[in-house]
Amino acid sequence: MILNSDSMKPIYVQIAEWLETEILSESIKKDEKVHSQYQLAEMLNINPATAAKGLNILADENILYKKRGLGMFVSEDAKKIISAKRRNQTLKSLVLELVREAEHLQVTEDELIAMIQEAKRDLKGDT
């Protein structure tokens, strides 16, 4: 993971989002232990309290759960929770921004749909 110190997002949010992505890609699986705040702090050269804040965001959202004395683990429903969150927050705001820009540029709905379909084909071609 590479932190972006120039980002508008706080480091602890970047850590939480990175862990979410790792869970979605199944690099970290359900019931698997995640890095401790001290391991993250050492890996990323940051304050352990900052790393803890990123982990606690995920614990508060029931993406991670604590086992006393053992650390934090990925919850059973983590992927479902992350997916729903990203659909309802991130994706929705991106689509709203896209539609707003399309309206400013007088792009029709059909043209916009065609652009999205083309982008999906391009992505499939990259894999």
27-49 residue pLDDT tens: 999 999 999 999 999 999 999 99
Which tokens sit at 62? 């029931």
A 10 A CB-CB count for 122 gives 9
Residue 79 confidence (pLDDT): 97
Q: What is the pLDDT of residues 23-32, one digit of tens each?
A: 999 999 999 9
Q: What is the structure's pLDDT at 6?
A: 74
pLDDT band at 56 (very low <50, low <70, confident <90, very high): very high
| Triad 76, 81, 83: Cα angle to 5° | 120
Q: Residue 117 carries which DSSP code?
A: H
pLDDT at 127: 59
DSSP labels, 75-115: -TTHHHHHHHHHIIIIIHHHHHHHHHHHHHTT--HHHHHHH
pLDDT in tens, 59-114: 999 999 999 999 999 999 999 999 999 999 889 999 999 999 999 999 999 999 99
